[in-house]
Chain A
Amino acid sequence: MTTTTLTDGAAAANQDTKIRIRGLSKVFQTKSGSFTALDDINLDIPVGCFFMIVGPSGCGKTTLLRILAGLEEHSSGSLEIASPAANRPGNSMVFQGDSLFPWMTVWENAAYGLTMRGLPKSEIKNVVGHYLSRTGLSRFHDYYPHQLSGGMRQRVSIARAFANDPDILLMDEPFSALDEQNKVLLQEELLRIWEETRKTVMFITHSVDEAVTLGDRIMIMTAHPGRSKVMVDVPFERPRRVLELRARPEYGELVYNIWGHLREEVQRARSQDEGRAS
């Protein structure tokens, strides 16, 4: 049963809710039967919230994001997204791994969404120029992705999503392939750019550190099938500085706390994998 309501019907009743999900499930039909990826997800994400989803691999977090992005249909339940302001795209996704078009330069990649929407050239130039300079890529605007490092490529990816000026930003483990130093730098950069507009963000990660560093609220998911296990609020004020934040004792406590919830699920996911393998 698919009951997507992409109007501002119910969500408008509560001005502050951007995304409302009720009893959402996703079942994949495979040759060996059906596979429940997501089971009874309930969520209310306020406008401007930096929302994090943490869970063991294979818990369906990416599926949830893809449903929100409109790249996948849900099987049952309801999903309501408050409609965006006129002529602004609903969402833009920063994909996991390499998603830049190899046949386009940095500039063309960053301008992709705006070009597809047919915006005037001068506006594209302003917006893309802004985000390329914010991500430190101005100098590389005519490079092709294969000429860039992994960290730079992911920066272009972020610039592409921000430049599109969507209502909601969806991020699917954008930093998972990066080394630790690059990761911290990019997290700082992301926070800085995000502070400018404070868009609603849904960010998926398997890193508890990343979730606590970036997020306002964290949903911890169970191993397969993916359910919401516990919701944690992150009390740290903004704007945040990544390294300063990580030095604080409260930070360590929160990370430890979340690990407590997560450990059990990671172990369960592992035994499921082992069960499947044997």
Chain B
Amino acid sequence: MTNAAQDANLKTRSFAPRRRSWSRESVERAMNIVSPVALLLIWELCARAGWIDVRFFPAPSKVFQVMYNLIQNGQLEKHVWASLQRLWWGILFGGIPALALGVAMGMYRTLRVIVEPVIMATYPIPKSAILPLILLIFGLGEASKIVMVATGVFYPILINAMAGVLEINKIYFDVGRNFGASRWQVFRTVALPGAMPLIMTGIKLGVGLGLVLIAIAEMVGAKSGLGYMIWNAWEILSVETMYVGLISIAVLGLVFTLLLNELERVIVPWKSSR
């Protein structure tokens, strides 16, 4: 390339920065909304034109119509509320022991050596596969659903809590000892907060798994809940109701994710704030 050519090149490149009326961020946010709406519109179009089988893929407008009816007659609220309650107790009964045991296993090698093999051996068993056993033990009532959620929540929180403590720099435990912290104080001021970032990850995974398991558990031997609603819709061939159930679970999942992200910002401020 000659000098002249290079000069020309330079000149063409030295324009003033183009002003954008839309920042990259707002464009991306807009696309986040536009793409699902577009998909729904295409779906609606295809359904009305008869290009897709509406027995399996009813038009979104129909689904929303059914959803509106279910909200009006209180059915949806009833089922969502039933699932939420089971989830709540399941997360509590599974999560709190998992948290305590996981952190303790991270702190005490002996405990870890004893308990870890049991955890690692039972962890890979699909939680849905033990549903019959849980039904056998806890019956068809609320307890079996709550236990189902609890088993799902238990493992990710325990494993993350343990890993979280093991990842804490040893120097912080030395500080605790040197400044006279008791075992309980070390747990509360060093191990628990130090492991909190990973524990939050565990809680997010656990809640996600809990949502999966509550839907499965409610499909068998339940008279309420979103899982029951979906299963019942299949039995009476009300595909629209089925979609309403699926949408409701998706919305719950989204709400949980947002709430947990917010909770993380409050509990682990030292990881995010600057």
Report which A residues bind B (CB closer than 8 A): 69-71, 89, 91-93, 95, 97-99, 101-104, 112-113, 116-117, 144-147, 160, 164
Contact = CB atoms under 8 A, between A and B. Distances in A.
B78 to A, nearest CB: 42
Interface stretch (B130-138, B252-260, B266-274): B266-274
A122 B190 CA distance: 24
Nearest first, the 10 A-B pairs at minimum CB distance are A103-B193, A113-B179, A144-B270, A116-B181, A93-B178, A103-B270, A99-B171, A102-B270, A116-B180, A99-B175
Nearest to B176: A116
Nearest to A97: B171
B185 interface: yes
A70 B175 contact: no
Interface in B112-152: none
Given A103-B194, A116-B185, A69 B273 contact: no
B11 to A, nearest CB: 45
A58 to B, nearest CB: 19
Contacts of A89: 179-180
Contacts of B171: 95, 97-99
A98 B168 CA distance: 13
Majority secondary structure, A binding face: loop
Contacts of B85: none
Contact of B178 (A71, A103, A104): A71
Nearest to B273: A144
A101 B193 contact: yes
A92 B179 contact: yes
Contact of A112 (B175, B196, B268, B270): B175
Nearest to B177: A71
9 contacts: A95-B171, A99-B172, A101-B175, A101-B190, A113-B179, A113-B180, A116-B179, A116-B189, A144-B273
Nearest to A170: B178
Nearest to A147: B274
B171 to A, nearest CB: 5
Of the listed residues A89, A95, A116, A144, the one surrounded by the most CB atoms of chain B closer than 10 A to its CB is A116
Nearest to B173: A71
B77 interface: no
Given A97-B171, A102-B270, A164 B190 contact: no
A144 B269 contact: yes
Contact of B175 (A95, A117, A144, A147): A95
B174 interface: yes
Nearest to B182: A116
Contacts of B273: 144, 147
Contacts of A91: 178
A158 B263 CA distance: 33
Interface string B51-70: 00000000000000000000
Contacts of A92: 178-179
Given A104-B270, A117-B180, 14 more contacts: A70-B177, A70-B178, A71-B174, A71-B178, A89-B179, A98-B171, A99-B172, A101-B175, A101-B193, A102-B270, A116-B176, A116-B185, A145-B270, A164-B179
A102 to B, nearest CB: 5
Nearest to A69: B178
Contacts of B196: 103
B185 A101 contact: no
A92 B269 CA distance: 28
Contacts of A102: 270
B82 to A, nearest CB: 38
B270 to A, nearest CB: 4
Interface string B27-62: 000000000000000000000000000000000000
A69 B178 CA distance: 7
A147 B272 CA distance: 11
